[in-house]
């Protein structure tokens, strides 16, 4: 045993002595700078380029053997203008001998590289300045990396590096053919120990600049990577990337991006998995996970992403997205998005999809398919719990102040409500879309809305379906419940021709018109239970063109209603006073409407002009008919309603208008849609009354004459009868005298 210890002690003493001699003697005997010329010549012969070693080559043996270089420059290839291909300000590498002697493992200390400058260029003909002698290009596919051989007990089994440190590097790339330039400057890289058996800590930072697209910025990266060369698998744990980008193409000219994730890259399986993903930029926080397959083929992906709640009024302006002015200043102040994603570069499926905007919640699925047109094909099935659409409409225009000589009607034109909005007629706004968009639109989906407020109207249980392909668009079936009634519609738009053609087939059934008009127009002009059907067509690519070409038929049936704003009883009283030459009665403030039991009308529309000839309104005391027209373009009215008093024992009139029973009272309706005017036209009524009076007088005279004639005839008959009686009595007396009685 003692002998063994002596041998070990002797070997150790010899090794220490040899190390001491190497540390002291070798640097004194060997000068590596004496070999600069030979090194440069070898580089010249192998690459055809000049190698210039301006700094000293220093060898060190304490505390570790190593080499330190000063400035080294490698010349550029012939035909490339950069003064050099590569240059370093300095480099240093050290070796650790003890692991090599004890376990046959070669270990290096930290490899340091300072001030690297690398100029890469692609010429107009495609040649590069990094090609080998004679212009050979590097192989397009890297040579296969042989797996580490199993240890046989001889030779170096493993290479370990204490770390890599690169300070202030700069890489310039120029493509002369395209004029593209890329620059990476102030590149700093620092790693922990490099070993095939342990994860590698890595940290880098740099600035960069590109000409196409024109962008610059700076970034920093920290990660820990574990490499498995056998399976070509790379795991990046706790990776963080922070970047600041500057470009005129970016909203605001600058973007800051913070990314954190764990990344698993499998080159054999061609997959990458991003877990614990967090991306922050422009005030948006996105989290989730993403899996990508077939990296070099038909790429496919799936994952889940969530955008945390944010305020669009703060975020979207930063993205150069101008928010429209809204009626509610608090609208668009809350948004959140979450979805599961799968698909490829040509197909995106979001299922399930959840979107929150203010108090509205949208859910369902959405699919986008890329095609040759500018618009993707869209498929969806969505459900919206509730939406107050009026909050997002433009704020109401300030009422204009009427100037001298301006009528009230003109002064209030800005307050005219829009045409009645139903789910289908709202879709007619598609006529304002560009024709090319309509022709290339490919869309199919369904949307259900629990509650909707639109133009003041309150709708519920809305169901819509849309199909669009090759310029033909159809919204069908459309249905909704509103004001205790139902809506159904079928909207079609054909954009294949020069101008789009629109057709509507809609109906409102058993709708309470009073509350509907109150919510829509702010006042109940007509009340009652109404049923309306409409079959209309139009053409044109603007709203005005659609209105000018609107053609079709509308039927109207209202029961148990009233016309607000017109008191026919009052008009009758005024007519009665005029007919009698009496003072006008004071207007009735208590009642400003006309009740009716039933209203029917058929409305024919031709090129924006509405005509009606069969108006029928029935009430307990009068009947109303009428005819006339309205111009939808000019929004003007010219209609004549004719009221006939039928009875007075019931209804609004009472006995005081009994004298007008059977007389037709014409009411002229003119003005605008927003301010209709009602006027009783007494000319015809007076003529009718005069005619009736003349007829009555004639009848009275005729009756009197006939009575006088009857009286005269009766008197003559009485005289004849009396004379007959006298003659009879006289004859009898003569007979008595003749026979002696």
More confident residue, 72 or 23: 72
Q: Is the pLDDT of residue 19 over 60?
A: no
Q: Are strands 158-175 and 117-122 parallel, antiparallel or unpaired?
A: parallel
Point out which residues pair with 664 in neighbouring strands: 644
Structure-token match 């009735």, residue found: 588
Contacts of 266 (CB under 8 A, 6+ apart): 231, 232, 233, 234, 272
Q: What is the pLDDT of residue 108?
A: 76
Q: What is the pLDDT of residue 630?
A: 94
Mean pLDDT lowest among 371-375, 461-465, 513-517: 371-375
Q: What is the pLDDT of residue 406?
A: 37
Confirm if 283 and 314 have CB atoms less than 8 A apart.
Answer: yes
Q: Which has the closest alpha carbon to 200: 230, 166, 170, 160?
A: 160
Q: What is the mean pLDDT of residues 530-535?
A: 96
- For 514, counting Cβ atoms within 10 Å of its Cβ (0-12 exposed, 13-18 middle, 19+ buried), the class is buried
More confident residue, 390 or 4: 390
Contacts of 700 (CB under 8 A, 6+ apart): none
At 150, is the pLDDT very low, low, confident or very high (cuts 50, 70, 90)?
very low
Length of the chain: 741
pLDDT tens per residue, range 319-374: 888 888 999 999 999 999 999 999 998 999 999 999 999 999 999 999 999 877 67
Q: How many CA atoms, within 13 angstroms, populate the side-chain half-sphere of residue 695? A: 6
Q: What is the mean pLDDT of residues 270-289?
A: 96
Q: What is the mean pLDDT of residues 517-522?
A: 86
Predicted structure pTM score = 0.74
* C-alpha–C-alpha distance, residues 597 and 415, integer Å: 32
Distance between the two ends of the chain, CA-based, in angstroms? 212
DSSP type of residue 656: G
More confident residue, 650 or 60: 60
Q: Is the pLDDT of residue 432 over 80?
A: no
Instruction: Give the DSSP H/E element, type plus range, for residue 194.
Output: none
- For 92, counting Cβ atoms within 10 Å of its Cβ (0-12 exposed, 13-18 middle, 19+ buried), the class is middle
Six token digits for residue 331:
């609208």
Structure-token match 């139902």, residue found: 486
Domain boundaries, the chain: 31-130+156-212, 699-741
Q: Are strands 443-454 and 377-388 parallel, antiparallel or unpaired?
A: parallel
Per the rule left: phi > 0, alpha: psi between -120 and 50, beta: everything else, 330 is: alpha
Confirm if 611 and 632 have CB atoms less than 8 A apart.
Answer: no
Q: What is the pLDDT of residue 30?
A: 65
* C-alpha–C-alpha distance, residues 150 and 487, integer Å: 80
Q: What is the mean pLDDT of residues 429-447?
A: 77
Q: Is the pLDDT of residue 176 over 50?
A: yes
Q: What is the pLDDT of residue 431?
A: 40
Per the rule left: phi > 0, alpha: psi between -120 and 50, beta: everything else, 706 is: alpha
Per-residue 3-state assignment (H helix, E strand, C coil) for 546-574: HHHHCEEEEEEEEEEEEEECCCHHHHHHH
Contacts of 433 (CB under 8 A, 6+ apart): none
Instruction: Give the DSSP H/E element, type plus range, for residue 425.
Output: helix 423-427
Mean pLDDT lowest among 62-76, 402-416, 452-466: 402-416
Q: Is the pLDDT of residue 157 over 90?
A: no
At 4, is the pLDDT very low, low, confident or very high (cuts 50, 70, 90)?
very low
Confirm if 239 and 262 have CB atoms less than 8 A apart.
Answer: yes
Q: Is the pLDDT of residue 57 over 50?
A: yes
More confident residue, 303 or 704: 303
Neighbours of 265 (CB within 10 A): 19
Q: What is the pLDDT of residue 105?
A: 64
Q: What is the pLDDT of residue 649?
A: 46
Give one DSSP letter per residue of 87-149, joined into a string. Answer: EESEEEEEEEHHHHHHHSEEEEEEEEEES-EEEEEE-TTS-BTTS-GGGPPPPSSPPPPPPPP
Using only C-alpha atoms, what is the Rg of the chain?
Answer: 50
At 580, is the pLDDT very low, low, confident or very high (cuts 50, 70, 90)?
low
Q: What is the mean pLDDT of residues 189-215?
A: 90
Q: What is the pLDDT of residue 660?
A: 57
* C-alpha–C-alpha distance, residues 332 and 316, integer Å: 10
pLDDT tens per residue, range 608-660: 999 999 999 888 777 889 999 999 998 899 999 888 877 654 444 444 455 55
Confirm if 635 and 626 have CB atoms less than 8 A apart.
Answer: no
Contacts of 511 (CB under 8 A, 6+ apart): 482, 483, 484, 485, 486, 487, 529, 530, 531, 532
Crossing angle of helices 568-580 and 682-739, rounded to 10°: 60
Six token digits for residue 285:
């926080």
At 665, is the pLDDT very low, low, confident or very high (cuts 50, 70, 90)?
confident
* C-alpha–C-alpha distance, residues 411 and 418, integer Å: 17
Instruction: Give the DSSP H/E element, type plus range, for residue 12.
Output: helix 2-29
Q: What is the pLDDT of residue 421?
A: 43
* C-alpha–C-alpha distance, residues 271 and 297, integer Å: 11
Q: What is the pLDDT of residue 570?
A: 67
Question: How far from chain centre, in Å, is Cα 73?
Answer: 58
Q: What is the pLDDT of residue 298?
A: 87
* C-alpha–C-alpha distance, residues 39 and 55, integer Å: 14
More confident residue, 57 or 279: 279
Alpha helix (H) ranges present in 239-320? 312-318
Angle value at C-alpha 583, between 582 and 585, nearest 5 degrees = 115
Positions of E strands within 212-345: 214-228, 233-246, 254-266, 271-281, 284-293, 300-310, 335-344
Give one DSSP letter per residue of 331-400, joined into a string. Answer: TT--EEEEEEEEEETTEEEEEEEEEEETTEEEEEEEEEE--SSSS-EEEEEEEEEEEEGGGGSPPPPPPP
Confirm if 689 and 579 have CB atoms less than 8 A apart.
Answer: yes
Q: What is the pLDDT of residue 246?
A: 96
* C-alpha–C-alpha distance, residues 464 and 488, integer Å: 10
The number of helix segments (H) and strand segments (E) in the chain equals 11, 34
Q: What is the pLDDT of residue 416?
A: 42
* C-alpha–C-alpha distance, residues 541 and 644, integer Å: 46
Q: What is the pLDDT of residue 211?
A: 92
Q: What is the pLDDT of residue 55?
A: 81
């Amino acid at each position: 045993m003692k002998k063994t210890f002596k041998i070990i002690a002797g070997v150790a003493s010899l090794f220490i002595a040899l190390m001491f001699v190497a540390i002291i003697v070798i640097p004194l005997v060997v000068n590596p700078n004496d070999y600069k010329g030979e090194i440069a010549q070898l580089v010249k012969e192998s690459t055809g380029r000049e190698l210039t070693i301006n700094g000293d080559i220093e060898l060190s043996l304490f505390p570790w053997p190593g080499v330190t270089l000063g400035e080294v420059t490698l010349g550029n290839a012939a035909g490339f203008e950069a003064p050099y291909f590569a240059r370093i300000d300095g480099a240093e590498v050290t070796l650790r001998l003890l692991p090599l002697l004890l376990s046959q493992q070669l270990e290096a200390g930290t490899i340091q590289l300072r001030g690297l400058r690398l100029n890469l260029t692609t010429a107009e003909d495609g040649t590069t300045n990094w090609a080998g002698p004679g212009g050979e290009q590097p192989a397009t596919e890297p040579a296969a990396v042989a797996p580490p051989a199993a240890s046989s007990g001889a030779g170096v089994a493993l290479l370990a590096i204490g770390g890599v440190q690169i300070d202030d590097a700069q890489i310039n790339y120029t493509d002369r053919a395209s004029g593209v330039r890329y620059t990476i400057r102030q590149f700093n890289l620092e790693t922990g120990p490099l070993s095939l058996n342990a994860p590698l800590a890595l940290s880098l930072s740099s600035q960069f600049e590109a000409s196409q697209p024109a962008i610059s910025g700076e970034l920093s990266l920290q990660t820990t990577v574990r490499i498995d060369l056998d399976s070509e698998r790379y795991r990046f744990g706790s990776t963080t990337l922070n970047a600041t980008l500057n470009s005129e193409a970016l909203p605001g000219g600058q973007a800051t991006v913070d990314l954190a994730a764990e990344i698993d890259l499998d080159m054999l399986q061609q997959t990458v998995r991003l877990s614990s993903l967090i991306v922050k930029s422009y005030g948006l926080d996105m989290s989730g996970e993403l899996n990508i397959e077939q990296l070099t083929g038909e790429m496919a992906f799936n994952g889940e992403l969530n955008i945390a709640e944010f305020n669009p009024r703060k975020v979207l302006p930063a993205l150069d997205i101008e928010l429209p002015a809204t009626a509610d200043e608090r609208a668009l102040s809350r948004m959140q998005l979450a979805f599961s994603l799968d698909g490829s570069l040509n197909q995106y499926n979001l299922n399930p999809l959840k979107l929150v905007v203010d108090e509205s919640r949208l859910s369902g699925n959405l699919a986008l398919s890329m095609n040759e047109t500018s618009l993707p094909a869209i498929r969806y099935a969505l459900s919206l719990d509730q939406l107050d659409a009026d909050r997002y409409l433009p704020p109401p225009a300030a009422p204009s102040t009427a100037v001298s000589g301006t009528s009230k009607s003109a002064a209030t034109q800005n307050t005219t409500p829009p045409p009645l909005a139903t789910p289908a007629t709202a879709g007619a706004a598609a006529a304002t879309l560009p024709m090319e968009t309509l022709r290339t639109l490919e869309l199919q989906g369904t949307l259900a809305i629990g509650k909707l407020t639109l133009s003041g109207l309150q709708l519920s249980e809305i169901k819509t379906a849309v199909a669009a392909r090759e310029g033909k668009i159809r919204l069908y079936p459309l249905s909704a419940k509103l004001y205790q009634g139902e809506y159904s519609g079928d909207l079609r738009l054909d954009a294949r021709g020069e101008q789009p053609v629109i057709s509507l087939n809609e109906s409102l059934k058993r709708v309470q018109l009073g509350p509907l008009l109150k919510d829509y127009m702010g006042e109940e002009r007509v009340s009652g239970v109404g049923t309306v059907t409409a079959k209309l067509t139009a053409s044109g690519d603007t709203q005005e063109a659609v209105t000018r070409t609107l053609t079709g038929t509308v039927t109207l049936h209202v029961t148990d209603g009233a016309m607000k704003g017109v008191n026919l009883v009052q008009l009758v009283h005024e007519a009665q006073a005029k007919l009698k030459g009496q003072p006008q009665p004071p207007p009735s403030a208590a009642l400003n409407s006309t009740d009716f039991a039933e209203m029917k009308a058929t409305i024919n529309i031709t090129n924006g002009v509405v005509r009606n000839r069969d108006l029928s309104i029935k009430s307990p005391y009068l009947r109303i008919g009428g005819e006339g027209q309205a111009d939808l373009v000019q929004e003007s009215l010219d209609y004549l309603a004719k009221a006939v008093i039928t009875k007075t024992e019931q209804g609004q009139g009472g006995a005081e208008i009994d004298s007008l029973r059977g007389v037709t009272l014409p009411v002229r309706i003119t003005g605008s849609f927003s301010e209709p005017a009602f006027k009783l036209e007494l000319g015809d009524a007076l003529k009718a009354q005069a005619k009736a009076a003349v007829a009555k007088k004639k009848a009275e005279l005729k009756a009197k004459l006939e009575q006088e004639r009857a009286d005269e005839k009766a008197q003559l008959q009485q005289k004849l009868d009396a004379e007959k009686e006298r003659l009879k009595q006289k004859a009898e007396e003569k007979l008595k005298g003749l026979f002696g009685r």
